[in-house]
Amino acid sequence: MGHPSIRSRRGSGVSSSDSNVEVRFGSWWDQLTVRMIFAVACVAAGYHFHPFGLPAWADALIGLLFALSVFLFEIRLRRASLRRLIGAAVGSILGILGSYLMGLVLLRTSIPDDSRSFLDVGLLLVMTYIGLVIGANKGDMLNLQALGGLFGSEQGSRRQPKVFDTSVIIDGRIADVCEVHFLEGALLLPQFVLRELQLVADSADSLKRQRGRRGLEVLQRIQKMPHLEVEIVEDDFPQIADVDMKLIELAKRYDAKIITNDYNLNKVATLQGIDVLNVNQLANALKPVVLPGEIMRVFILREGKEYNQGVAYLDDGTMVVVDGGRRVINKTVDISVTSVHQTTAGKMIFGRYEDRAEPARHAAAASAESAHRPGAETPPVERTTRSVIPDPTHS
């Protein structure tokens, strides 16, 4: 397609740069080794103990299937957020407790032992399953800060991951923010965001195509920064069509923050208790503080909407409306700040341009006009008096 390629780099695995490759503990190879040891142990246990009285090879196969089911369950648990894990654990414990109490009630009945055993196992499975599912779904409502700091040490030592939005990638300013080390830790790039960005880069519209390719270049630039861990996650939510809602669900799953400059996504995610890093809010917070009465030097770019107004822009994009600046368009002048207004779109500065040389020019023009006016009296010319008495020293 002609646009840059983006490679996945796992935060807990291999951290690579252009010159060297560093392998740390907990990498993909370490996990594979542990899983192989666990699978061999399960196969050996099934082969040795014959749990169901089947042939040895069948019991060994059952041990292997058990190991694979554990691996799938572990992968699923990794994708769950801490809130959901706590909710699932609490719900399953309450379900087991409820099934135990129901078993005590059934023990005092006249139900035959075989039927009662079946009911006991059925209640245990049903109650545990219901508690696990409901606890996981309601786990997002937990407030970990209200638990008395029980998980404070874990949260303090673990850097909360951040999820990229398509708009902030196309915007491009996030690369500068990352470059100055204002962001660190794991940066999650969802596969559906990358797919949307690629569709923009392949668009028939030249403007959209240029923006999409710039977004891919921004991602490549961020990926080369050694202090960041960019990870492309494969999680998707086929039942959800909107990309913004997919981002919110992904942030809940990984207990992550969302990096965006989309106003609507910011509001919706905040309402659902997700932390949002808005690049526009950061830019507004970093704008210089200007007070009324200060003198600023600006370049008047164009005329304003009102009479005799000029419009200028600061380096950060702040609009400056200059009263009396229409006659100095395309010039750099000093203005006096009159007021500063904060709007939803950003900050606006109002100022006044006063030409201090204007009164002097008016006086000079008035004197020149009066000098060339017909019939005007000319000022008397002072002449040197000359003596009429002859000087005796001269002959």
Q: Is 340 exposed, middle or buried (0-12, 13-18, 19+ CB in 10 A)?
A: middle
Least confident of 104-113, 155-164, 228-237, 337-346: 155-164
Per-residue pLDDT, 310: 93
Q: Is 317 left (phi over 0), alpha (psi -120 to 50) or beta?
A: left
| pLDDT at residue 291 is higher than 90 | no
d(CA 192, CA 235) in angstroms, rounded, equals 8
Per-residue pLDDT, 378: 47
191-196 own/partner pairs: CB under 8 Å, 24+ apart: 191/232, 191/233, 191/234, 191/235, 191/236, 192/236, 192/243, 192/246, 193/164, 193/165, 193/166, 193/169, 193/243, 193/247, 194/6, 194/219, 194/232, 196/166, 196/243
Per-residue pLDDT, 312: 92
Per-residue pLDDT, 116: 87
d(CA 162, CA 185) in angstroms, rounded, equals 8
Please write the tens of the pLDDT for every residue from 120-174.
999 999 999 998 888 887 776 665 545 544 444 444 445 688 998 988 999 888 8
d(CA 259, CA 164) in angstroms, rounded, equals 5
d(CA 89, CA 81) in angstroms, rounded, equals 12
Helices (H), the chain: 28-49, 56-79, 82-107, 113-138, 152-157, 166-171, 173-179, 191-201, 206-223, 243-254, 263-271, 279-285, 358-371
Q: What is the DSSP string of 318-351?
A: -EEEEET-GGGTTSEEEEEEEEEEEETTEEEEEE
d(CA 142, CA 82) in angstroms, rounded, equals 10
Per-residue pLDDT, 292: 87
| pLDDT at residue 14 is higher than 60 | no
Task: Name 250's Cβ contacts closer than 8 Å, sequence gap at least 6.
Answer: 163, 188, 190, 233, 235, 237, 256
Q: What's the whole-number average pLDDT of the chain?
A: 78
Least confident of 5-19, 199-213, 329-343: 5-19
Query: How much of the chain, in percent, has pLDDT values that exceed 70?
Result: 76
The one-letter code for the residue type at 346 is G
Task: Name 335's Cβ contacts closer than 8 Å, sequence gap at least 6.
Answer: 295, 296, 297, 298, 320, 322, 325, 351, 352, 353
| pLDDT at residue 366 is higher than 50 | yes
Walk me through the domains of the chain, giving residue ranges and CATH numbers.
Answer: 14-152 (no CATH), 159-285 (3.40.50.1010), 295-352 (2.40.50.140)
Tokens matching residue 114: 């075989």
Cα-atom radius of gyration of the chain, to the nearest Å?
38
pLDDT band at 100 (very low <50, low <70, confident <90, very high): very high
